[in-house]
Amino acid sequence: MRIDVLTIFPGILEGFLNGSIVRIAQEKRLLEVVLHDFRQFALDKHRTVDDKPFGGGPGMVLKPEPIFACLEALIAPDQPAPRMLLMSPCGSTLTQKRVRALSKDERIVILCGRYEGYDERIRLAWPFEEVSIGDYVLSGGEVPAMVLVDSIARLLPGVLGHDLSALQDSFEGPLLDHPHYTRPADFRGMQVPDVLLGGDHAKVASWRHSQALERTRLLRPDLLRGGPNEAPNAGQV
Ligand code: ADE
């Protein structure tokens, strides 16, 4: 998979790309993330990327020209169209289900906004799907883009040590993860539950399921009512 990220602050993402699961995915050649500073495509000598909104009002709006030029340099008309995602608090909220679907794409282009917003013609001319990471406003799309890239990278087959997707498929319902324990079996008087030490895989599975159910009931009862959000399901949460 290749992910192109358009941002005027590539430095925010650089450290992230060189660490964590995303670095592993890139080293294994399962993922390539390319940063594009669309300020480089600005037309004037000051490399202006924003301007005052027509009609007045506070803040600045991202101009269309640098973003159009950057996208046109990136997307060849004769190649399959990439999925195009625009990070914005106006988008539909990211869920694990959506991340799983995105992890099957060959190529994704992510546009990170800043300031008060984007010139509307960016939305009108390009087939962007808007993605929000939650109902709160951040100062830009870079942090949401990192959230998105991380959540996709860990689902790419071969990135994690174990077959995460198989693990996910084995879950029946929208449950939070069960508790995890490792050595020592006795830590400051707190014991690991006996069932996990007994070696009976069926009993372990049933204990984990009931714990996951209990945890979900306690922490996220909305998930059991079949709300719009889906539990992360697999992995440590
Ligand atoms: N940009 C600013 N806030 C955002 C959010 N909550 N999700 C995605 N992009 C954003």
89 is catalytic: yes
pLDDT at residue 231, rounded to an integer: 65
Mutating to test ligand 1, I would choose from 5, 13, 87 the residue with most ligand atoms within 8 A of its C-beta, which is 87
Indicate if 116 belongs to the active site: yes
Q: Which domains does the chain have, with CATH numbers?
A: 2-153 (3.40.1280.10), 164-227 (1.10.1270.20)
Q: Give yes or no: 169 in active site.
A: yes
pLDDT digits (tens, 9 = 90+) for 34-77: 999 999 999 899 999 999 999 999 999 999 999 999 999 999 99
Active site residue 225: no
Single-letter amino acid, residue 120: E
Residue 237: predicted pLDDT:
44
Across the chain, the runs of DSSP E, i.e. the strands, are 2-7, 32-37, 50-51, 61-62, 83-93, 107-112, 117-118, 128-132, 186-187, 190-191
Q: What is residue 151's predicted lDDT score, i.e. its pLDDT?
A: 97
Instruction: Give the global pTM.
Output: 0.91
Annotated active-site residue in 65, 83, 98, 116: 116
Say yes or no: CB of residue 133 within 6 Å of ligand 1.
Answer: yes
161 CA to centre of ligand 1 in angstroms:
31
Mean pLDDT per 10-residue run, the chain (237 residues)?
A: 98 95 97 98 96 96 98 95 97 95 98 91 97 97 98 95 55 78 98 98 97 96 77 53
Pocket test for ligand 1, best of 12, 137, 147 (most atoms within 8 A of CB): 137
* Ligand 1 contact via 134 beta carbon (within 6 Å): yes
Residues of the chain above pLDDT 70, percent: 91
Active-site residue, selected from the candidate residues 89, 114, 119, 174 = 89
Token representation of residue 111: 């546009």
Q: Which of 6, 10, 12 is nearest to 73 (CA)?
A: 6
